[in-house]
Amino acid sequence: MQVNIRRWVKELKKQKDEPVCAYMHDLPSLESHIKSMASILPQKTRLFYAIKANPDPKILETLLPHVDGFEVASLGELQRVRHVSAEIPVLFGGPGKKEYELEQALQTGISYIHVESLLELQKLIHVATRMDIDTNILLRVNLHDHTLPVTNVTMAGKPSPFGMDEWNIEEALAILQDSENTHVHFQGFHFHSLSNNMHADRHMEMILLYMEKVEEWKQKFNVEVRVVNVGGGFGVSYDDKPSFDWERFTTLFKRSGMHHRLGKTKLFFEPGRYIVADCAYYAAEVIDLKPSMNQNFAILRGGTHHQRLPASWGHDHPFSIISIDDQQWKYDFERPGINNGSVTLVGELCSPKDRFHSEAKIKQLRVGDIVVFEKSGAYSWTISHHDFLGHPYPDFLYKEEGMKDEPSTVSLTSNER
């Protein structure tokens, strides 16, 4: 953990009357991360951010100058992007697009719509013809290839609601080439087969497989392919294994001769998790600490209503403990604590699913200390059931460029949502 987060949490504790519960965003470190990713991006490739991982406006603003665009999958997400920029290129994907979504997408100006089924394609042509607006599309394909890597979240290579089967491509292209269609323009293919892949080498092999397929279809159907979107899915490790190695991946990519192979085709990446996972921390104060049978439980001011990722994946989420001085213990009765023991970290909800970490080994943990969950920037607040049980929302704090680390000068901005 970065030292400044520790200071920041201590400063926050001093300022708060109520127990600490906050999402703390480190925007300068997000900016340096995206800059370093973009700086080694291979030629002929483009980097988009899939905003469903975290659509926070300040995150979008921070990423805006460094990405080629955003990927959205609803009108709500589209609005969030248009709120920070009227011009930035947008990719619009997702299953089950409604007619009003297609209308809005055409009106707002989308760079590429990812078409997920034959019916959706027909609806889009219908809407675009009625509105007399042109649009570019990519066909999303679910590959039937058993050599695709398998991760804990896999969307392709097996029956799935995402995209169309390979053998529907011919019919899709026939629908597009019909003389009735003059508005919807085929530009290429979209694949997003898995999430949280840790292996740069396997990821590269998967992209080579995509390229083989695309080259085969180009020949077979005699179409020009201007864009291949290879999705996201670069993994972040929540235990001590290494995360996806972007530097290794881009090196492999450059060495593979892809530059020549692509010719006039552009290749898009649209990761979510890998861009934002590290930029936010979820801090929650210990409210109670008690033994039950042979286990210790620490109950925090927070829970899966704010940070559902560990419960969703069933993993133990990485955390650090920020010790708070005894001087800040305001009662005249004893402050409970555990030394050199094991503790299960749970939330404030009346649900056994509200758990962050089971039987963690700790040196010391006391009521009033603050547990900071790292890697809470992706699929955390945004996938949580905020109103279940009606507890107050966390504070949202942002460290921005130019703010100092010294506790006395750290300024905190908080916006209730």
Positions marked catalytic = 350
Residue 379, both tokens: 């699929």
168, 118 Cβ separation under 8 angstroms: yes
Least spacing, CB of residue 195 vs ligand PLP, in Å: 3
For ligand PLP, the closer CB: 56 or 270: 270
The first and second tokens of residue 40, run together, are 């080694």
Task: Tell me the C-alpha to C-alpha distance, in Å, between residue 408 and each of 13, 15, 84, 381, 395.
Answer: 13, 11, 31, 28, 19
Question: What tokens appear for 56 in the block?
Answer: 């926070």
**Radius of gyration (C-alpha) of the chain in whole angstroms:** 24
Binding site for ligand PLP (CB under 6 A): 50, 52-53, 71, 93, 192, 195-196, 231-234, 270-274
Calpha distance 97→172 (Å, rounded): 17
Q: Which is nearer to ligand PLP, 27 or 50 (CB)?
A: 50
Per the listing, tokens 């953990």 go with: 1
The nearest distance, CB 196 to ligand PLP, in angstroms, is: 6
Of all residues in this chain, which one has the CB nearest to ligand PLP in the complex? 232
CB 317 within 8 A of CB 358: no
Name the minimum Å distance from CB 281 to ligand PLP: 19
Least distance between ligand PLP and beta carbon 18 (Å) = 33
Nearer to ligand PLP, 246 or 398 (CB): 246
Comparison of 34 and 349: residue with beta carbon closer to ligand PLP:
34
Classify 255 as helix, strand or coil.
helix
Q: Which is nearer to ligand PLP, 188 or 272 (CB)?
A: 272
d(CA 71, CA 90): 6
- Report the distance separating Cα 77 and Cα 81, nearest Å: 6
Task: Give the span between the Cα atoms of 206 and 32, in whole angstroms.
Answer: 28
- Shortest distance in whole angstroms from residue 42 CB to ligand PLP: 18
